[in-house]
Structure 1
Amino acid sequence: MAARNADEEPARMRDRPATEARILEAAQAILIAAGPGGFGVNAVAREAGVDKQLIYRYYGGLDGLLEALGVRLAQWWQEKLMAGLPQTPVENYGELIELLALQLLHIVRSEPLALQSLLWELTGSESFVKSLSASRARAYGAWMAGVRGGLEPPEDVDAPAINALLIAAISQIALAGRQADTIIGLPTNDPATWDRLEKSLLRLVRGVYARP
């Protein structure tokens, strides 16, 4: 009977790459819909239409699945970041950070997966948070490595600290825009607010990375 059941198993279930893709797509869908609270091996297996034992076989359990999902999300973040590159190369490091800041603001405002991932990093379990944080860090690093070339920040600027503050501010603004009607008095449902924030963001970047 076992052999006959195995023979009758759908072809897609015997195709490991396709099955892994289904599992990761299901995991991502659950995270968008339910967040960390609804995430688990059983839920992912049901969403993917697979036996949960496949998840243990392929990923070793929940932690391995989160790690694989982190890799998938890192690729997603990098693709979204690269989509905002201009046709001509930037001329200095400040322009590079302007591009990153503006594209990140656009992504977190327009992509549900991006905004949800920010929320998960605040509310998920320790392993969950580490996986998601690492995925974004890999995406930013890959973007910088592919775009930066030989551009360097001014010698007197602590670029990693400045850029971390910018990214954190953009993330917090996007989250506040989703959860509240105002951001420190600025109406979140007014397009003019986001125009002002974008212009102010550029002014901050240019002030820090102004060329001598």
Structure 2
Amino acid sequence: MSDTFKGKFLDSIKRALRKIGHLSGFDSAIQTAYNKPWVVHCEPSMADAEHVIKYLGQYTHRVAISNDRLLEISDTHVCFIAKDYRNKAQKKPVRLSGVEFLNRFCQHILPKGFVKIRRYGIYNATTKRNLELQFIPEESAVEKELSGKNKKETKLEHIKRLTGFDIGKCPKCKHGRMHIVGELPRIRSPSRPIYQLMNAFLQ
């Protein structure tokens, strides 16, 4: 795999340099690259969108160290589990002073103005803001007046207009607004008269 990738990659570079007439100036560099051993890491392609999100989520929504890796925290030192990549990535306890631990932890904090995820295209914040300004037409004075007249009146507005009493205002503090959290089902009247139901129940 490494030799095949190296051959195809350098061959494409040589063909590109030959087209612009600069191949002779890079012969020695290309030959040096041919003589060096290459390490190629290749993984299977992502299966589906769920796999892609799961893979990217490990890098975009994780912290520098999880609570599961912390073994001991004292007034002066912090002990946690870390992988020793010099020894086949074996998990070993590491003990650091509090200052050194904070120093390493702060290296994972992004500077001001840097973000982990940047959106582009129509999802970019500036683009979305410009699109909203572009596609929302401004109403003229006549249109605003007509839209105000044709606006459907809510039940609260209807009661306030008829009675002058605002039932949406908090009766205790007189400043807050009441919010509907649920509605009781409407009780349907029985199909049979009440006295017939009572007689049937008593019998």
TM-score (norm 1): 0.17
**Which is richer in helix?**
1
TM-score (norm 2): 0.18
The structure, 1 or 2, with the larger RCO (C-alpha pairs under 8 Å, 6+ apart) is: 1
